[in-house]
Amino acid sequence: MKTGTDSDGLSLWWRRGAILVIVLGFALLIFLTAKSYYTAPPIPEKAVLAEGQVVFTKEDVQAGQEVFLKYGLMDNGTIWGHGAYLGPDFSASYLHNLSVDAQQSLAESSFQKPYDALTLPEQQAVQLQVTDLLKENRYDPESGVLILTAAEAASFQRQIQVWTDYFASTTSSSGLKQNLISHPEEIKQLTAFFAWSAWASVAQRPDKPYSYTNNFPYDPSVGNTATADTVLWSALSLIALLGGLGLVLFVVGRWNFLGWRGKQEGELEEPKPIASEIATPAQRATIKYFAVVVLLLLLQVAMGALVAHYRADPSTFYGLDLSKILPSNLDRSWHLQIAVFWIATSYVAGALFLAPILSKKDPKHQVAGINILFGALVLVVAGSLIGEWLGINNKMGNLWFWLGHQGWEYLELGRIWQILLAIGLLLWLFLLVRALKNASQNPDFKQMASLFIITAIGIPIFYVPAMFINSMTNYAVVETWRFWIIHLWVEGFFELFATVMVAIIFFVLGVTSKKTSIRVIYLDAILYLAGGIVGTGHHWYWTGQSNLPIALSSVFSALEVVPLTLLTLDAWDFIKISQGKWEIVKRHKWTFYFLMAVGFWNFLGAGVFGFLINLPIVSYYEVGTTLTPNHGHTSFMGVFGMLSLALIVFGLRQVLDDQKWKKVDKFVGVGFWGLNIGLLLMSLLSLFPGGVLQLLDVLKNGYWHARSQAYMGQPLVKTIEWIRMGPDLIFVLAGCIPLAIAVLFTLWQVVKHKKSADANH
């Protein structure tokens, strides 16, 4: 071993660089997270009129937040731009109603006539008074008392009826169960929560010229416009992007052995296949996981189609009132939860499938462990989905948070199910470590097995922040931890773990050398995490933090595009490195096709569409519009989904012999093209143009209007929603169903093989 290199001849600076990036990145992220506890908008002990009459209390606000969560309203509308896009942004809607009420009150007190009857100069004078009225922060941190004006108190009382009416009708609430919330006390508490979120979005931070949410939402009628920091750091993040791209492309071009492309000069190692075509019992035992994956995918797509239908027609489903059984907030909850479940299941099973290839054999009782884990998985999936239905329908009493619908977007499953999921991930990690024991003791595979285990450890560890919040936690603090899960867990460490699995597949098939595979793992880890860790904060721009995330996270978030660009080049590299290895590539052709699709969607979905909405100045107007699910669908399904399916197709091909594979090859091929064509058309014909139109409405009429039924009910908007039916049908009929047939056929063959083996014994 040369000085400065490891046992595989790789420079130690690869490992040191990855560690340095992780340490520095988490130092900044933890600092921002800790700061959120101090910068979160305070919840007043009580909000009172100047004469002392109490309008609402801290207990009302916190109880209102629990009402919001218990009924799954974050899967109906949004607070500060985050949540679902069926209903309104509740904070923006309350704020604009407050603005209108204040205009009327001040017009009548100043000019003794209604606001609409005023001349333009008079209206402008009233608007200035409204801005001054609402921007003034009359909260006393010493006493915890917030002084409200008479106009604000009157608006609060009026809006209790506004929200009573909202929940009374399925049509007005975008598919919620009729009279979902009708108890007067719950409505009052919920209105208090909305009032607090609106106050935080307009009242200026102490000694700052902007609100607690950095002037979000955009509403000129109350003086909420983009801050100087928003504009400045958007420009500087573009400079960071261009500089980062230039530097990395120079480095990769200068040292052309980086990435998958080839060997370093003087490197004599020629990759050789080590994967056996004979599957072990443990590998065969994982195929049932793949069957669960495709069944969950079909269910998730069905729920997504229902959500899209509610956007186009919230009142009826072809004459049926589904809101009584499957209301829109439940559909959307299941749509998100099932997506996380099937992606995670495919990674869990894919890792257990790959491990025996490196170790050459199964450890004792591994099949029993895999079966136990499978049972635990089914329990968590079924139990949490049923619990969410019961919780939303208010059938669990005080247990709604623990067993029902916890309420936070992407973290809807009750706390007990979260704990069981974490325990299941620890069991999976235990099974993976013991499956890699032989490989860890083999000098030839030691480092690759170690990287496999280290990245796997991140999966259960970075799910733990989901336990740091409860129903009473300050909403701004919740948003901080919630995106540790959504961004850091899913988009960071899951993607890094997937990179390791892809590198192992290339290595065991003999497509790339061990040294190249390990180098790629370190390179991607450095590039992913350099921007991705601190870049988590691009979700925090408008969620009650200070302006620091705008400064730091906008720059680091821009750097996330750099590795995505390189991954697009990898898609072409997959073709180049296959030259001379056609027999290997031919056997696993569809695995390579799915990996090439990952490169394409990484660039378009995560790169182009993601960067489009991550710039602070764009995010300020865009967050919570259809451009967000456009990015979400093309990156989640396009990247994580295609990676999952690549792992599944690899497993199917390894389990089936050539003759049996011929029976499923055509189904996999049709499924590949169906999914990708359907997803592309879904974006280009519906989600992207719909998002652009909605963004334009924000700029013209304010954020509240673009999220209201007044906008969503327009014929053109509904037409764009209906157009999506065509791509959705392609995605399901030509994509999901053929793949499901391929997986279920393979499972049938595995069951037949086991029965035959048992009979012979």
- So what's the pLDDT on residue 318? 80
Local structure of 210: helix, strand or coil: coil
Mean pLDDT computed over 155-177? 94
**Domain final residue, candidates 225, 242, 275:** 225
Residue 439's contacts (CB-CB under 8 Å, 6 or more residues apart) are: 355, 358, 359, 360, 445, 446, 448, 449
Q: Around Cβ 658, how many Cβ atoms within 10 Å?
A: 10
Reported as a single tens digit per residue, the pLDDT across 298-328 is 999 999 999 999 999 888 888 788 888 999 9
Element spanning 148, H or E = strand 145-148
Instruction: Establish if 273 belongs to a structural domain.
Output: no
Which residues form the domain of 127? 46-225
| pLDDT confidence band for 377 (50 / 70 / 90) | very high
Q: Around Cβ 295, how many Cβ atoms within 10 Å?
A: 16
- And the tokens for 212? 């607690």
CA distances from 425 to 336, 405, 418, 486, 651 (A): 19, 21, 11, 17, 21
Instruction: Establish if 575 belongs to a structural domain.
Output: yes
Q: Rounded to 5 degrees, what angle do the CA atoms 206, 209, 207 make?
A: 25
- So what's the pLDDT on residue 310? 92
Q: Please provide the DSSP assignment of 418-469 as one string.
A: HHHHHHHHHHHHHHHHHHTHHHHHSTTTHHHHHHHHHHHHHHHHTTGGGGG-
Q: Is 625 left (phi over 0), alpha (psi -120 to 50) or beta?
A: beta
| pLDDT confidence band for 432 (50 / 70 / 90) | very high
- So what's the pLDDT on residue 580? 54
| pLDDT confidence band for 565 (50 / 70 / 90) | low
- So what's the pLDDT on residue 230? 96
Instruction: Establish if 458 belongs to a structural domain.
Output: no
Instruction: Establish if 66 belongs to a structural domain.
Output: yes
**320 strand-pairing partners:** 317
Instruction: Specify the CATH number for the domain of residue 701.
Output: 1.20.210.10
Instruction: Establish if 166 belongs to a structural domain.
Output: yes
**Domain final residue, candidates 175, 194, 225:** 225
Q: Give me the helices (H) in 485-513, please.
A: 495-508
Q: Are strands 139-140 and 82-83 parallel, antiparallel or unpaired?
A: unpaired
Reported as a single tens digit per residue, the pLDDT across 652-701 is 999 999 899 999 999 999 999 999 999 999 999 999 999 999 999 999 99
Torsion 537-539-542-543 (CA) sign:
negative
Scan for tokens 């009782």, then name that residue: 365
Mean pLDDT computed over 349-356? 95
**Domain final residue, candidates 191, 206, 225:** 225
| pLDDT confidence band for 192 (50 / 70 / 90) | very high
Mean pLDDT computed over 439-466? 92
Local structure of 76: helix, strand or coil: coil
Residue 363 has pLDDT above 50, yes or no: yes
Residue 67 has pLDDT above 50, yes or no: yes
Residue 358's contacts (CB-CB under 8 Å, 6 or more residues apart) are: 436, 438, 439, 445, 448, 449, 452, 504, 508
- So what's the pLDDT on residue 570? 59
Residue 320 phi, psi dihedral angles, 5° rounding: -100, 145
Q: Please provide the DSSP assignment of 512-567 as one string.
A: S-HHHHHHHHHHHHHHHHHHHHHHGGGG-TTTT--SHHHHHHHHHHHHTHHHHHHH
Reported as a single tens digit per residue, the pLDDT across 116-127 is 999 999 999 999
Local structure of 679: helix, strand or coil: helix
- And the tokens for 203? 């009242």
Question: Are 547 and 42 contacting, i.e. CB atoms less than 8 angstroms apart?
Answer: no
- Whole-model pTM: value is 0.94
Length of the chain, please? Answer: 761
Mean pLDDT computed over 589-608? 88
Reported as a single tens digit per residue, the pLDDT across 74-107 is 999 999 999 999 999 999 999 999 999 999 999 9
Residue 261 has pLDDT above 60, yes or no: no
Annotate 81-101 with b (16+ C-beta within 10 A) or e (fewer): bbbbbbbbbbbbbbbbbbbeb
| pLDDT confidence band for 7 (50 / 70 / 90) | confident
Lowest mean pLDDT, pick from 242-251, 486-495, 625-634? 242-251
Instruction: Establish if 491 belongs to a structural domain.
Output: no
- Omega before residue 217 within 30° of 0, cis: yes
Local structure of 510: helix, strand or coil: coil
- So what's the pLDDT on residue 494? 86
Instruction: Establish if 127 belongs to a structural domain.
Output: yes
| pLDDT confidence band for 27 (50 / 70 / 90) | very high
Percent of the chain's residues with pLDDT above 90: 72
Residue 567 has pLDDT above 70, yes or no: no
Residue 130's contacts (CB-CB under 8 Å, 6 or more residues apart) are: 99, 102, 103, 106, 221, 222
Reported as a single tens digit per residue, the pLDDT across 506-551 is 888 887 788 888 888 888 888 888 888 999 999 999 999 999 999 9
Mean pLDDT computed over 487-498? 86
Query: How far is 161 from 636, CA to CA, in rounded Å?
Result: 39
DSSP category for residue 221: G
Element spanning 55, H or E = strand 54-57
Mean pLDDT computed over 221-244? 93
- So what's the pLDDT on residue 268? 42
Per the model's pLDDT, the better-predicted residue between 191 and 110 turns out to be 191
Percent of the chain's residues with pLDDT above 70: 93
Residue 1 has pLDDT above 70, yes or no: no
Residue 578 has pLDDT above 60, yes or no: no
- So what's the pLDDT on residue 266? 44
**211 strand-pairing partners:** 204
| Number of domains present in the structure of the chain | 2
Per the model's pLDDT, the better-predicted residue between 502 and 563 turns out to be 502
Local structure of 658: helix, strand or coil: helix
Residue 273 has pLDDT above 80, yes or no: no
Question: Are 429 and 460 contacting, i.e. CB atoms less than 8 angstroms apart?
Answer: yes
Q: What is the mean pLDDT of the chain?
A: 91
Query: How far is 587 from 417, CA to CA, in rounded Å?
Result: 40
Question: Taking each helix axis from N to C terminus, what angle separates 287-312 and 715-723, rounded to the nearest 10 degrees?
Answer: 160
Residue 265 has pLDDT above 60, yes or no: no
- And the tokens for 213? 């949410």
Q: What is the dihedral of CA 683, 686, 689, 692, to 10 degrees?
A: -90
| pLDDT confidence band for 340 (50 / 70 / 90) | very high
Instruction: Establish if 468 belongs to a structural domain.
Output: no
